[in-house]
Amino acid sequence: MGGRARLEVELEQLTQQIRYHEAAYRAGVPEITDAGFDDLVERYGELADRLGIDPSERLDVQPGQDHTAGFETVEHREPMLSLEKLSPNRRGSSGEPMALSDQLSAWFRRRRKELEVDELPVIVEPKVDGISVSLLYAAGELRRAVTRGDGHKGDVITKQVVQLGTVPTKLERAGKGEIEIRGELYWPLAEFARFNATLERPLINPRNGCAGMMKRKDPAGLEATGIRAFFYQVAWNDGVELPSTQHEVLQWLADRGAEVYLSEVFQTTTEEEALQYCEDYQARREKLDYDIDGMVIKVDDLRLYARLGATGHHPHWGIAYKFPPERKPTELLDIEVSVGKSGKLTPVAILEPVFVSGTTVSRASLHNFVELERKDVRVGDTVLVEKAGEIIPQVVEVDRGKRKRGAKRFVAPNACPTCGTEVVSEEIFVYCPNPACPDQVRERLRHFASRQAMDIDGMGEVLVDQVVDRLGVRSPDDLFRIETSALAALDRMGEKSAERVKAGLEVAKGRGLARVLNGLAIRHVGETMAEDLAAYFKTADSLLEFAARYVAEDEEAVETVAPAKSSERGAIEGLARKSADSIFHELDAPAVRKVFSGLAEVGVSLSVEAADVREVADVAGKAFVLTGTLPTLKRTEATKRIKAAGGKVSGSVSKKTDYVVAGDDPGSKHDKAQALGVEIIDEAALLALLGEPD
């Protein structure tokens, strides 16, 4: 393979990895650190430049995308762009690593040259690790709160923010105009620890916990979490008189009741002093009562921002100094391969134990075999280990200077290390296709019993391991056949605990088809897709019959869910041809059909209850978009009623949308519906379509 061909293969692999990690981030289960993601993006950009890839054909990287189904999405008047970052992995024109001081000096030189000035006053502010939020005020009253989203569009979380009680609902003496201020919602460490102690299943870390809390559909109780906010920017204003510098704007915000970290702000005109302040602040990091992942260096004079401009991804008026996570060197003793619930094979580093970020680490993720090869990790290497989000250990780098002679690359297995089945490849991942694989069985059962799936009370991971190892459970239906006496004989159980688990299993039988589908760990079927499949097919029999037709390439079946014409909408919202192929082939597999038969035998509900579904002619099959605040219905309740009547609810307006249901402050969805000629109705008209009195 020639040099260019190798680069093209690496670029395609990077594209797949970036997309995968973006999806994991949006799902709230990131597998790599922000710095690790930045490394992938930087390498992608470097290769794209070397290969001469046209900018319009490059991957549009949006690591902050966080849209959640059921939340209204609005477009930011001014994009919420990420800042350019000083990176320890950046290389200069010679190919050698570029020191942070040199990178910052280069940034200062560019800004001075663009502005034609000899001195550049800047302000250095702490970068609290939380979730970005944008607040719109009119005549001083809070009108709307929106997440950063992908930087161009975000989710409306006004009710959640108001419920917190830590964000000003009124800006004192702000005048009669409109103003948008931006800040961060964050969870102080002490408050996070207090709240976490009350949970049966603790949250991973303050940042992810905060993001999850702000996406709760019902905001009740959020005021008890202790989540706070601080503000750092005025994005735009109409009819509001503001100072001309950033440090004065921070004081202006503070004077009007918005929390800012004014005492932590440093002003200077030199890159040396700016960098020194960042490094000094890093030394204080462990003593702070909140998580902080870096500092932000901004041009102080706001009147210069328009002249400096921006790229499509970051503005030129600021740059971020990211605190490097703690990294420790250790020896990689071996590489093992784990098998997940979907059959995915993942390489795992076995390490000489090393103390990192508060715990001793002896195992660390290597993510996938493509990444393993890209980093050229070999057994016997000295590697650097850190924790993603201070939680998940991972190998981030190899110290090649300490590589032992004869160190060999690890080759991805051709057969599953647990059951010996020949593996299959899908993009950058390797899978064991045998659903009876013991490791896969264990992980699938853990997922099936989990809260997001069948929510079997008392059936935790430790108990799942015992019923697999000692009671021979191999399939979800086997769980429901376990006798109370057998459960009671297991370690740390007893009669009462066993009875509780049996009661939990009985309750779980009535969870319905959507929970079952989610619990079976079918690739590409998460909670939303499971609900949509259940809502459309109603019963497992109907779904499996359709799967057989789809696999047989029945033209009508394929067109039903994956129309050949892109202008036509499939029966399942958001189901593309590639995902449909995977889902229906797996559903039609004998092993999966056997699971459904077993669940039916033990009395598990494999249908959507008739009481919950009442198809209405004017609603069934139609696509609805909800926007604004409805007079009486909460968004979740309106969504539930539409789906129960056979309709679909989408988060965005398109030509495929049948109705936009608009309430107060409808936002950009209303405008887009008008532009596309989509019918706009109010709550009363929706209730009329549903056949309900208003």
Rounded CA-CA distance 473/483 in Å is: 12
Rounded CA-CA distance 352/541 in Å is: 52
DSSP sequence for 249-311:
HHHHHHHTT----GGG-EEES-HHHHHHHHHHHHHTGGGSSS-EEEEEEEESBGGGHHHH-B-
Rounded CA-CA distance 362/654 in Å is: 50
**Is 366 within 8 Å of 335 (Cβ atoms)?**
yes
Q: How far is the CA of 560 from the CAs of 512, 543, 546, in angstroms?
A: 24, 13, 10
Active-site residue, from 127, 215, 341, 669: 127
Structure tokens at 584: 């229906």
Q: Pairing state of beta strands 623-627 and 648-650?
A: parallel
Cα 438 versus chain centre, distance? 29
Q: Which helix (H) or strand (E) holds 11?
A: helix 3-26
> Over the range 138-168, which residues count as b (16 or more CB within 10 Å of their CB) and which as e?
eebebebbbbbbbbebbbbbbbbbebbebbb
Rounded CA-CA distance 282/284 in Å is: 5
Cα 73 versus chain centre, distance? 16
Q: Is 686 exposed, middle or buried (CB count within 10 Å of its CB: 0-12, 13-18, 19+)?
A: buried
Nearest to 649 by CA among 625, 684, 675: 625
Among this protein's residues, is 622 annotated catalytic? no
Q: Pairing state of beta strands 344-356 and 292-299?
A: unpaired
Rounded CA-CA distance 684/694 in Å is: 6
Active site residues: 127
